[in-house]
Amino acid sequence: MQSPLAEPVSYLIHPTPKGSKALYNGTDAVRTGGSPLFFDFPYVTAESNVVANLEYADRSPHPSDIVVAKDPSVTASLGSVYMDQVITVGASSSTYAKTVEGLEYSREYMKAGHNTGGGHFFGFATCHWIKSCDESSGDRLGTPCEATLSGVLYKGYCFRSLYEKLECGHLTAIDNEYGEKPVSFDAFSKPGLTASSTSGATAIPVTPNVLPSSLGLVPSDTAAMLTIKPSTPGASQTVYRCPTGSPAKSLGTFVSKRFLIGGCMNSMDANYDSLAEVHVPPYCAVAADFHVGCMVPWATNFDAAAKQSGECKFPTAGCMSSTAVNYNSMATTDDGLCIEAVVGCTVNSTSYEGVAPDTPGYKSLWHGWYGNMDGSGRVDWSVYQGPTVKKFDPAANVNEGCIVAIEGCMTPGSVNYDPDATVSSMTWCIPEVKGCMMPHESNANVGYVNPGPVSSTYGKIDGLNADFSIMTTKHDRTMCVTARYGCSKKKKDVPGYGLVEAKNADKFGTVDSLCYYPKSGCLNPNAVNFGCTSAEAKETCNDLVNEHTASLCKFPQEDRTSPPTPPPPQFPNNWNPDDPNLKVEYGPSVESVIAGDMDYWEPRKPLLAQIFKKALSVPDSFNETSVVLTPGSVRAKVTFWTNDAAAANQLTADLEAKATSASEFGGLLNAAAAELGSDVEFTVLSKPSVFAETRVTVLHTPLTVGAITGITIGVLAGVIIIVAFIVYYRKKKAASKATYPA
């Protein structure tokens, strides 16, 4: 049936779906919750032709987001009624509900002819077309609409026509299927008729209020009594909606079939509806049944006076004995096949008895047994084949009194006693033997792994038992003797640090575990290479870094694989690099971060110079090597000096070819150290950077005129002094000569 005609939206009234959810936002609007009868459409797939949201092969929008009608009484959504919405009639506990009639997915009943009326479940209605509604502008089923036709203002509601278009119209008349109860809605009736008056054929209203009947019009000689109800365009301005599927699509009035009208038919109730044809209790002010009975004429219990739908019975053969297991309360003829009840356990005690082999999970049961040799703790059903129940009664046909077979120890006091066990066909009871049940590592389960053996990255944890007995059945923690894993190694020669103590040295450790020694890397959680020992890493690492080196961190949108190239040398003002008074030297440089600390590397700077020169095959013409160390971990810059610019350029190119990555550069340094007989080891943390430096030394200052004059006078004075000294010396020598007799 349809909802009362005064409601703006044509709803189908039906039983509330069993799967309906709780109230929607505290109102009577509910969701179906999986009912297979109303709007239970799965999301569409490419193989499916079921479209939940009217958009094929599209998962959005969800039907709950699609507004299909407007009804001010649905306050939960400000008058919006959604595609998958069910609205209870009356209280939320009502067994009656309604859904929108005329939706795209409910048009199938129109195609099948359901709305044309079958049997006695239909009537006639006349719709006066006003105009077309515009869905693109927000019009929906039930949207109020109006238009002026021939100088008269008509009001109506949007409805879905036979042609699947949204039209605007109002109801002008209705009648039952036999043309016996015509009702006119206040449109041009003859003089003398009021809203409640009735008359014979002489008082039939004139156009456009055409009275419907099985012939389309009420014949002029009919004896039917006419009821007039106030409506638009009269003074009351009351609007009654047109029926879904009306052929009205242009000017005029159009007759079509309609569903029966639901409502309150109890004339003593405050909400009595004179237009209702089927009683729906929740529509009454006081919900109560009214003439309940079977309304289907071909049922065996048809009640012609019934106004509220009740249970119908049809000719049915079946067992009519109420004590039989196959009793059929709807049967009208006994078929002689009654089976009287025999109470007992109907489940066969033999596992899988009568079960088809193609049944999912067939013979997949198992029995739990710790002694199973494969270590799984399971005994396959083919070996166990235990019972399923106790007290199976093959003669029973009403299942009652079955005791499920639960395998287990049934002896109280045993450590594996199971109070729920009902059979003990493959179980023995275990006596209580106290001890420590935490096993020694050699006794642990096959799948047991202590997190990190001695050589592992993570090291072991405490807990293995040193005094384990396999005969223990009850755990006593006071009887456990646990091992303590820890780093017992005190010192180790670590590249870049020398002989250092482990950071996690444990003087109480009894079993060696992993020791942590200094390891440089990036520990800034904001860096992309957090936890990495290399500046070249592009994502977080688990390198067990324990000493932070900020220069190794690389941040988003930042390339920190190598330091920036230093600026070119700046010569003193007013000096020419080609001046013979300047000594210009060129120094190709290599800079990289190596693991360690300054205390270790500072005294080894001369050795670093040798190793770098050896590793990089620097020619002997570069006769000076300088080493600069800065903290963090240690940034080592080694420069090779020469006064040959071409040789410097060539060496720079050679160095760039060899400085491809941190690991390859570290290999070159360690190989060179070994060739030189050094025990120094290198851990290179960043890709080396190569750049050229220039060193300028002033040999002497250019002489001015005053300086030259001073130098000349000084030289002359010096010459005079030297000549005087020579003369003096010769005289003295002559005086000292020995004289001999002639």
- Given a cut of 80, is residue 589 above it in pLDDT? yes
Q: Could you say which DSSP state residue 27 is in? A: B
Position with higher pLDDT, 387 vs 707:
387
Helix (H) or strand (E) holding 698: strand 689-698
Q: What is the pLDDT of residue 421?
A: 92
Going by C-beta distance under 8 Å and a sequence separation of 6 or more, which residues neighbour residue 353?
none
Question: What is the rounded CA–CA span in Å between residue 316 and residue 691?
Answer: 103
Q: What is the pLDDT of residue 106?
A: 55
Show the domains of the chain with their CATH numbers: 11-106 (no CATH), 136-257 (no CATH), 342-432 (no CATH), 433-516 (no CATH), 519-561 (no CATH), 582-698 (3.30.70)
Contact 297, 120 (CB under 8 A): yes
- Given a cut of 70, is residue 692 above it in pLDDT? yes
- Given a cut of 50, is residue 23 above it in pLDDT? no
Question: What is the rounded CA–CA span in Å between residue 645 and residue 472?
Answer: 84
- Given a cut of 50, is residue 197 above it in pLDDT? no
Question: What is the rounded CA–CA span in Å between residue 517 and residue 505?
Answer: 9
pLDDT grade for 260, boundaries at 50, 70 and 90: very high
**What is the residue type of 421?**
A
CA atoms 306, 311, 316, 322: torsion sign: negative
Q: What is the pLDDT of residue 400?
A: 92
- 736 alpha-carbon distance from chain centroid: 118
Q: Show the beta-strand stretches assigned E in 554-616.
A: 582-594
**What are residue 255's DSSP bridge partners?**
126
Average the pLDDT over each of 75-84, 210-219, 229-238, 580-589 and give the range with the smallest value.
210-219
Rg (CA), the chain: 53
Please compute, for residue 89, the number of CA atoms within 13 A of its CA located in the half-sphere on the CB side. Answer: 29
Q: Show the beta-strand stretches assigned E in 341-395.
A: 343-344, 366-368, 378-380, 389-390
Residues of the chain with pLDDT > 90: what percent? 27
Calculate mean pLDDT across residues 495-524: 84
**What are residue 511's DSSP bridge partners?**
485
Position with higher pLDDT, 263 vs 20:
263
Residues of the chain with pLDDT > 70: what percent? 72
Q: What is the pLDDT of residue 31?
A: 45
Query: Tell me: the pLDDT tens digits for 615-624?
Result: 899 998 888 8
Helix (H) or strand (E) holding 13: strand 11-15
- 220 alpha-carbon distance from chain centroid: 71
Q: If you write DSSP's letter for every residue of 209-227 in order, what string do you get? A: -PPP-TTSS--TT--PPPE
Query: Tell me: the pLDDT tens digits for 289-310?
Result: 999 999 988 899 999 999 999 9
- Given a cut of 90, is residue 204 above it in pLDDT? no
| Residue 40 burial class via C-beta count within 10 angstroms: exposed 0-12, middle 13-18, buried 19 and up | middle
Task: Among 308-317, 576-585, 677-686, 715-724, name the most confident range.
Answer: 308-317
Q: What is the pLDDT of residue 105?
A: 52
Going by their DSSP bridges, the two strands 624-631 and 634-641 should be labelled as antiparallel
Contact 440, 466 (CB under 8 A): yes
pLDDT grade for 94, boundaries at 50, 70 and 90: confident
Helix axes 662-675, 645-658, angle to 10 degrees: 110
The chain-wide mean pLDDT, for the chain, equals 78
Q: Identify the CA nearest to 218 among candidates 124, 129, 130, 117.
A: 124
pLDDT grade for 45, boundaries at 50, 70 and 90: very low
Q: What is the pLDDT of residue 712?
A: 47
- Given a cut of 90, is residue 75 above it in pLDDT? no
For every residue of 409-453, which 3-state class applies, written as one string? Answer: ECCCCCCCECCCCCECCCCCCCCCCEECCCCCHHHCCCCCCCCCC
pLDDT grade for 192, boundaries at 50, 70 and 90: very low
- Given a cut of 50, is residue 175 above it in pLDDT? yes
Going by their DSSP bridges, the two strands 317-318 and 403-404 should be labelled as unpaired
Position with higher pLDDT, 708 vs 263:
263
Calculate mean pLDDT across residues 195-209: 44
Q: What is the pLDDT of residue 732?
A: 40
Query: Tell me: the pLDDT tens digits for 534-562?
Result: 888 889 998 888 888 888 888 887 655 44
Q: What is the pLDDT of residue 736?
A: 36
- Given a cut of 70, is residue 27 above it in pLDDT? no
Overall size of the chain counted in residues: 742
Question: What is the rounded CA–CA span in Å between residue 211 and residue 208?
Answer: 9
- Phi and psi, residue 119, nearest 5°: 65, -120
Going by C-beta distance under 8 Å and a sequence separation of 6 or more, which residues neighbour residue 404?
388, 389, 422
Q: What is the pLDDT of residue 396?
A: 94
Average the pLDDT over each of 124-133, 153-162, 346-355 and give the range with the smallest value.
346-355
Q: What is the pLDDT of residue 427?
A: 78
Helix (H) or strand (E) holding 628: strand 624-631
Question: What is the rounded CA–CA span in Å between residue 410 and residue 423?
Answer: 8
- Given a cut of 90, is residue 179 above it in pLDDT? no
Question: What is the rounded CA–CA span in Å between residue 233 and residue 208?
Answer: 12
Q: What is the pLDDT of residue 103?
A: 66
pLDDT grade for 44, boundaries at 50, 70 and 90: very low
* Angle at alpha carbon of residue 173, lines to 170 and 174, rounded to 5°: 115
Average the pLDDT over each of 187-191, 404-408, 481-485 and give the range with the smallest value.
187-191
**What is the residue type of 13?**
I
Contact 278, 289 (CB under 8 A): no
pLDDT grade for 336, boundaries at 50, 70 and 90: very high
Q: Identify the CA nearest to 694 among candidates 659, 637, 635, 649.
A: 649
Contact 211, 175 (CB under 8 A): yes
Question: What is the rounded CA–CA span in Å between residue 512 and residue 521?
Answer: 26
Question: What is the rounded CA–CA span in Å between residue 538 and residue 531?
Answer: 11
pLDDT grade for 35, boundaries at 50, 70 and 90: very low
Q: What is the pLDDT of residue 551?
A: 82
pLDDT grade for 63, boundaries at 50, 70 and 90: low
Residue with tokens 């509900």: 97
Question: What is the rounded CA–CA span in Å between residue 114 and residue 684?
Answer: 85
Helix axes 662-675, 605-615, angle to 10 degrees: 110
Calculate mean pLDDT across residues 664-682: 90
| Residue 696 burial class via C-beta count within 10 angstroms: exposed 0-12, middle 13-18, buried 19 and up | middle
- Given a cut of 70, is residue 387 above it in pLDDT? yes
Position with higher pLDDT, 64 vs 562:
64
Question: What is the rounded CA–CA span in Å between residue 79 and residue 581?
Answer: 97
Average the pLDDT over each of 194-198, 298-302, 335-339, 401-405 and give the range with the smallest value.
194-198
Position with higher pLDDT, 355 vs 48:
355
Q: If you write DSSP's letter for every residue of 475-518 in order, what string do you get? A: E-GGG--B--EEB---EEEETTTEEEE-TTB-TT-SEE------
For every residue of 291-323, which 3-state class applies, written as one string? Answer: CEEECCCCCCCECCCCCEECCCCCCCEEECCCC
Calculate the dihedral angle through the C-alpha atoms of 138, 143, 144, 149, rounding to the nearest 10 degrees. 70
**What is the residue type of 488?**
S
Contact 158, 143 (CB under 8 A): yes
